[in-house]
Amino acid sequence: MQTNFTEEQLKIEDNKSSEKIFKKCVHCGMCNATCPTFNLLGDELDGPRGRIYLIQDMLENERKPTSNVVKHIDRCLSCYSCMTTCPAGVNYMHLIDHGRKYIEKNYERPFFDRIIRNFLSKILPDSKLFKLSILLAKLGKPFKFLFPSKIKNMLDLMPTSFPKKAFKTKEIYKTKNKKRIARVALLTGCVQKEISPQINESTIRILNRHGVEVVVPEKIRCCGSLNHHLGKNDEAHQDFINNINIWYDENLKGNLDAILSNTSGCGTTMKDYAFIFRDDKKMKKKAKKISELTKDVSEYLSENLNLKFKKKEKKLRIAYHSACSMQHGQKVHSQPINLLEKTKNEILEIPEGHICCGSAGTYNILQSKIAKQLLKNKVSNIESLKPQIISTGNIGCITQIRNGTNIPILHTIELLDWYTGGPKPKILNKL
């Protein structure tokens, strides 16, 4: 793709990086073939190729974004399926992040949109505020017919209560009856640790049981991905810098073998810290180290540990849903499937498995109409297999898919924990 940035514009690092990406694009349109929004809506501007044109036009001409341009860019799921398909290696992820950052700085959204986006930005990463919002959601659900559609969608997705047993965070989880062979840090997630504490408990149990000490630094905050994808650069960077510094110091203090994420959306952003801070002299070295250490938990278990699986009497049909942030963002494909296959169950490949379920962070709230159609399609494909269980590696996908089917869905790590000596997940008690 030909570009027309001025020398002055290319002094800005974001423009310089984006120009290199633009030049890789050969206009072939293969990205559109796997883009969920293009396939649903049929509009060129709702596919990656069209959005690339829109972003390039904004940046080169320093154009004030129009509501129409913002609409099409907002409709991007950040599923990165296009990046898996692209034969030219166009890093669309970095382009769309730059576009959102530019929009946030140069476009004034309608008042109500600003309220919703600011609400999500403040509430979801903050445990105390999130708990308060759950209480308010419980009170508000009977009256949701009075609220605008985006508030209704948010109320529908909100749980009405918290698990009876909360996740008890401590700094160090030592190995039990096993010599320590490794030491890792674990990001426990913002929403996840509140609504699904069993995911973190399963993760820690399976690691401890196989000789891995787990560190959960007290002052770790949100990974920053939520605000990053909302275009809220300043807020995201506060979280980035806080976490990078803490993990870096923890590594210096006790030599971390890895930093693990069991929420694939978080892991994708953490692996991108090196790029985000590429021109920051103070943070560059630290960010690069943290990105290098970051692994999805399934990636780490598959490549670093010899798990001891226990045979169960009953063979189950398990549909594995690969989260977009896992398969397209992190390029983690075979590892979770290989681990599940070791349970000796029947692992099913979901038709159109590369297509997003519609969760995509806050997308199912901000773009609910599209998200609901994607959910309907995903559930239809899953149910065509007649599985007994759905397994996935991302809390957002779990929350989304659970709203569309009665088939039990749980995190892959919960199954792996059970099959290597942990307790049976409560959701499976009826099987």
Q: CA separation (Å) from 142 to 138, 146, 368? A: 8, 9, 20
* CA dihedral for 412, 380, 370, 32, sign (positive or negative): positive
Domain ranges of the chain: 9-106, 116-157, 172-302, 309-428
- How many Å apart are CA 30 and CA 378, to the nearest integer? 22
CATH number for the domain formed by residue range(s) 172-302: 3.40.50
> What string of H, E and C letters represents the secondary structure of the chain?
CCCCCCCCHHHCHHHHHHHHHHHHCCCCCHHHHCCHHHHHHCCHHHCHHHHHHHHHHHHHHCCCCCHHHHHHHHCCCCCCHHHHHCCCCCCHHHHHHHHHHHHHHHCCCCHHHHHHHHHHHHHCCCHHHHHHHHHHHHHHHHHHHHCCHHHHHHHHHCCCCCCCCCCCCCCEECCCCCCCCEEEEEECCCCHHHHCHHHHHHHHHHHHHCCEEEECCCCCCCCCHHHHHCCCHHHHHHHHHHHHHHHHHHHHHHCCCEEEECCHHHHHHHCCHHHHCCCCCCCHHHHHHHHHHEEEHHHHHHHHCCCCCCCCCCCCEEEEECCHHHHHHCCCCHHHHHHHHCCCCEEEECCCCCCCCCCCCCHHHHCHHHHHHHHHHHHHHHHCCCCCEEEECCHHHHHHHHCCCCCCEEEHHHHHHHHCCCCCCHHHCCC
* CA dihedral for 205, 324, 21, 15, sign (positive or negative): negative
Contact partners, residue 376, CB within 8 Å, separation at least 6: 404
- How many Å apart are CA 182 and CA 48, to the nearest integer? 41
Q: What is the pLDDT of residues 369-400, one digit of tens each?
A: 999 999 999 999 999 999 999 999 999 999 99
The model scores a pTM over 0.85:
yes
The phi, psi pair for 351, rounded to 5°, reads -55, 140
Residues 180-198 have a mean pLDDT of: 92
Q: Taking a C-beta distance cutoff of 8 angstroms, is the pair 19, 10 a contact?
A: yes
Residues 278-291 have a mean pLDDT of: 96
The pLDDT value recorded for residue 161 is 64
What is the CATH class of 309-428? alpha beta
The pLDDT value recorded for residue 320 is 98
The pLDDT value recorded for residue 305 is 95
- The pLDDT of residue 162 is above 70: no
Q: What is the pLDDT of residues 287-333, one digit of tens each?
A: 999 999 999 999 999 999 999 999 888 899 999 999 999 999 999 99
Q: How confident is the model at residue 137 (pLDDT cuts 50, 70, 90)?
A: confident
- The pLDDT of residue 28 is above 80: yes
The pLDDT value recorded for residue 131 is 78
CA angle, residues 231, 43, 54, in degrees to nearest 5:
40
Q: What is the pLDDT of residues 30-51, one digit of tens each?
A: 999 999 999 999 999 999 999 9
Q: Taking a C-beta distance cutoff of 8 angstroms, is the pair 99, 65 a contact?
A: no
Shared fold status for 9-106 and 309-428: no
Residue 197 CB-half CA count within 13 A: 10
Instruction: Return the CATH superfamily for domain 9-106.
Output: Alpha-helical ferredoxin (1.10.1060.10)
DSSP lists the bridge partners of residue 212 as 182
Between 124 and 148, the more confident residue is 124
The phi, psi pair for 350, rounded to 5°, reads -80, 130
Q: What is the pLDDT of residues 139-152, one digit of tens each?
A: 777 777 767 677 77
Q: How confident is the model at residue 128 (pLDDT cuts 50, 70, 90)?
A: confident
Between 131 and 405, the more confident residue is 405
